[in-house]
Amino acid sequence: METPLTPIDFARRARKLYGDREAVVDGDLRLTYEQFLNRCDRWSAILQQLGVRQGDRVAYIAPNTHAQLESFYAVPQIGAVLVPINYRLTPDDFAYLINHSGARVVCAHSDYPEAIDGIRPQLRSVEHFVSLAGARADWLDYESLLAQGTENFERPLIEENDLLTINYTSGTTSRPKGVMITHRNAYMNSVGTLVHEHMSCADRYLWTLPMFHANGWTFVWTVTAAGATHICLPKVDPRRVFEMIDKERITMLCAAPTVLISLANAESSVRSNARRGVRVLTAGAPPAASTIERLEGDLGWTVTQVYGLTETTPFITVCEPRAEHEQLSISERAIIKARQGVELITSGETTVVDDQDAEVPHDGETVGEIVVRGNVVMRGYYNDPDATAEAMRDGWFHTGDAAVIHPDGYIEIRDRLKDVIISGGENISSVEVEGVLLRHPAVQEVAIVGLPDERWGEAPHAFVVLKSGATADEDELCEFAREHLAHFKAPHRVNFVLELPKTATGKIQKYVLRGGRSAIAKQ
């Protein structure tokens, strides 16, 4: 009587229980669950007519639109493998990812066909090109095909360990790697998310997080599992986010810390009447306690940090609230909320180990590497056995994140292992220094990196983005850091920049800062 664990089953249940409820809002388009899933079925049938079979790859290049959301159902339910690609990449990047995945079909939003046309001769495996929004010469038109199609498709037997998606890492220091996520991986992450962050059919979820990024942290399926409403937002702008929160009665969203910073520091006229009670999940980089404090104290939102990687589907820990936390002040509670927390019920075992693979003491001081094993760990890297063996060894997936374990069992990241600064023999956490500088009233964003130093070998160096209209100088910020940190941790130099280099998912590219690239625009 067992049935395979797959997030596609959430669609079956949603159609049965919530068929007449609003499922998707995308601009003026509003779809019930019945209408939304009928469209998915029609596209499944069209893909099969185009020759897509079980195991074939279908690539998508699109922002957060209804068509992109439909791909997470239409492609997997015929046993094909979805390849959601970061739409902010270059045409050369598109060519590499499409070729590496071996995609037979490429579906692109209206902003990207020209980029794809320029690399068509390089795309060896692609047989069909589909325009997701508007007719275009030499492209199939998505909406026209849907209008002509039927909902009848052949539903193959899908095993829970079959491949669901290939999600490519950001590739900041090497070629992107294709993370193989199975149906079981995604199902377990979605269920675990719902255990720790309850949702219901009354919830209205705003898509501020890119759907391509780790499958929108599996919220492409989690929202449907709850029968909640997907509110699409193709482009994130603080003013637009607050408008949508008010207009669409948003109750929940996910966002990287860079997006949270932009919301916390939006003009007072934009956020003064913000809807209260919004629940926010944040991940991707350790958020500063000051950012959490501002969102919870000023806006009345609830911020919960989760932690994971694309390779772990992505969540492995959640900063689970406890009753005793409610007795703390907002600022004290924000310090705890900035930690990565404890393992999810469904994710498996997560811990921090030293160089000998022994668990570090729970003292909040001894630094080791976060490792994990369990239900959400990827199958491996697509066509890359060497990288798979390096990351998944001795029965654990090694994250490359340096962290401590506090006496209460909560894990706190101190840095990426490669970003730990060793100055005069002392280890310095760039995350700790960044958290202090973000408390300065003039600082909006900051990145700390280690740069060569004749005396200390390397020393912390700050790259700072100031808030609009704010002023501060190097001496002021260095002294502020020295007042709140051991003096050896304070930055030796400060560069003021207009923006920090980031990946499409909001992670700061510290290798660019260390390399002194001209990509940094100086004030």
Domain boundary among 352, 381, 416: 416
Q: Are residues 411 and 438 in the same domain?
A: no
Q: How many domains does the chain have?
A: 3
Average pLDDT for 59-85:
98
91 contact partners, CB below 8 Å, separation of at least 6: 115, 116, 118, 119
Q: Are residues 277 and 391 in the same domain?
A: yes
Q: Are 434 and 500 in contact (CB under 8 A)?
A: no
Alpha carbon separation from 281 to 176, 219, 389, 412, 445 (Å, rounded): 26, 11, 31, 17, 20
* 401 plus 427 within the same structural domain: no
The answer to whether position 510 is within a domain reads yes
Please give the helix or strand (H or E) that residue 73 lies within, else none.
helix 66-74
Confidence of residue 376 (pLDDT cuts 50, 70, 90): very high
Q: Report the pLDDT value the prediction gives residue 522, as an integer from 0 to 100.
A: 40
Asked whether the predicted pLDDT for residue 327 surpasses 80, the reply is yes
User: What per-residue confidence (pLDDT) applies to 386?
Assistant: 95
**CATH no. for residue 57?**
3.40.50.980
Q: Is residue 406 part of a domain?
A: yes
Q: Is residue 23 part of a domain?
A: no
Tokens matching residue 488: 């050896």
Out of 364, 394, 416, a domain closes at: 416
Residue 292 and residue 194 share a domain: yes
Largest CA distance in the chain: 72
Whether residue 492 is contained in a domain is answered as yes
* Neighbouring-strand partners of residue 187: none
pLDDT for 211: 97
Count of Cβ atoms closer than 10 Å to residue 11 Cβ: 23
Q: What's the CATH number where 270 sits?
A: 3.40.50.12780
- 303-318: pLDDT as tens digits: 999 999 999 999 999 9
Is pLDDT at 362 greater than 90 in this prediction? yes
Whether residue 390 is found in the same domain as residue 356: yes
Are 75 and 153 within 8 A, CB to CB?
A: no
For residue 496, tell me if it sits in a domain: yes
Task: Determine if the peptide bond prior to 314 is cis (ω within 30°).
Answer: yes
Residues facing residue 83 across a β-bridge: 59
pLDDT at 458 over 90: no
Q: What is the pLDDT of residues 364-375, one digit of tens each?
A: 999 999 999 999
Q: pTM of the full predicted structure?
A: 0.86
Confirm whether 357 is domain-assigned. yes
Q: What is the extent of the structural domain holding 506?
A: 422-515
pLDDT at 425: 65
Q: 264 with 290, same domain? A: yes
Beta strands 380-381 and 178-182 are: antiparallel
Structure tokens at 477: 């910020």
Would you state the pLDDT for residue 51?
98
Residue 229 has φ and ψ, to the nearest 5°, of -110, 130
Give the pairing type, strands 493-496 and 178-182: unpaired
Measured between its terminal Cα atoms, the distance across the chain in Å is 65
457-466 vs 493-496, strand pairing mode: parallel
Task: Tell me, yes or no, whether 481 lies in a domain.
Answer: yes
Asked if 213 and 291 sit in the same domain, the reply is: yes
- Length of the chain in terms of residues written: 523
Q: What is the pLDDT of residues 392-443, one digit of tens each?
A: 999 999 999 999 999 999 999 887 877 878 787 677 888 889 989 999 999 9
307 with 221, same domain: the answer is yes
Last residue within a domain, chosen from 392, 416, 440: 416
Question: Of 140-144, 287-291, 448-452, where does mean pLDDT reach its minimum?
Answer: 287-291
pLDDT of residue 466 exceeding 90, the answer is yes
CATH number for the domain harbouring residue 438: 3.30.300.30
d(CA 277, CA 258): 21
Percent of the chain beyond pLDDT 70?
97
Do 328 and 427 fall into the same domain? no
Residues 203 and 339 occupy one common structural domain = yes
Assess whether pLDDT exceeds 50 at residue 519.
no
**Ranges 4-13, 24-33, 290-299, 471-480: which has the least confidence:** 290-299
Is 370 domain-assigned? yes
Is 353 in the same domain as 478? Answer: no
Asked if 117 and 141 sit in the same domain, the reply is yes
- Kindly report, residue by residue over 189-219, the tens digit of the pLDDT: 999 999 999 999 999 999 999 999 999 999 9
* Distance from C-alpha of 130 to C-alpha of 136, rounded to nearest angstrom: 9
Q: Judging by beta carbons within 10 Å of its beta carbon (0-12, 13-18, 19+), is residue 198 exposed, middle or buried?
A: exposed
Taking only the tens place, the pLDDT of each residue in 226-274 is 999 999 999 999 999 999 999 999 999 999 888 888 898 888 888 878 9
